């Protein structure tokens, strides 16, 4: 199985993307790429890694996003894997528009699991294609920034970039 990878410079650090059959299967900031790569090898088995300039158009879409087209990521095809529950949460999360935030409780209700707030949080934390499945748009019920694998400084930057403001940490 071939997975194409590319690196994209961004204002909040280098991003590595992995695309299989034209669909984004992983996105990570450079410092967490080794863990994402290992997860892809567990998921897909024997992987042939190939460098590519713009696999699946993802690098171009990321550049457009960071240049101000905050809706550019919505058009990226994804293959995040995951359980049926995780996919249900990620599908609902992908419907949260740029410039908006949602609490874990609101996301749990939207996904059809109103009592599974912690499980929704865990699904959010295991999202393999952050930014594109916009886990940075989930905030605590108090309106404060909580949890983000890329660090709260990046989450704050992303929310500000999208025009939703950055709640207090």
145-19-56-91 Cα dihedral, nearest 10 degrees: -50
CB 89 within 8 A of CB 122: no
Residue 129 token pair: 């294609």
Query: Catalytic pick from 8, 135, 139, 166?
Result: 135
Angle at 163 between CA 161 and CA 164, to 5 degrees: 115
Task: Report the interhelical angle of 117-125 vs 84-94 (nearest 10°).
Answer: 80
Give me the DSSP letters along 89-128.
Answer: HHHHHHTS-TT--EEHHHHHHHTT-TT-HHHHHHHHHT-T
Active site residue 135: yes
- Strand ranges, E, within the chain: 2-8, 15-20, 23-29, 48-51, 102-103, 138-139
For 5, phi then psi, to 5°, come to -125, 150
Residue 71 token pair: 């809706």
Looking at the annotation, which residues are catalytic? 135
């Amino acid at each position: 199985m071939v997975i194409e990878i590319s690196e994209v410079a961004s204002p909040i650090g280098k991003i590595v993307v992995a695309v299989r059959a034209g669909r984004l299967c992983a996105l990570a900031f450079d410092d967490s790429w080794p863990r994402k790569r290992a997860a892809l090898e567990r998921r897909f088995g024997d992987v042939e890694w190939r460098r590519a300039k713009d696999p699946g158009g993802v690098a171009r879409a990321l550049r457009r996003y960071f240049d101000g087209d905050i809706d550019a990521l919505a058009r990226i095809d994804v293959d995040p894997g995951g359980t049926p529950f995780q996919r249900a949460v990620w599908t609902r999360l992908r419907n949260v528009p740029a410039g908006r935030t949602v609490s874990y409780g609101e996301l749990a209700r939207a996904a059809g699991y109103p009592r599974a707030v912690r499980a929704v949080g865990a699904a959010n934390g295991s999202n393999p294609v952050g930014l594109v499945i916009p886990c940075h748009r989930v905030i605590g019920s108090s309106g404060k920034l909580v949890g983000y694998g890329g660090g709260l400084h990046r989450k704050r930057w992303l929310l500000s970039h999208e025009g939703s403001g950055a709640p207090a940490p």
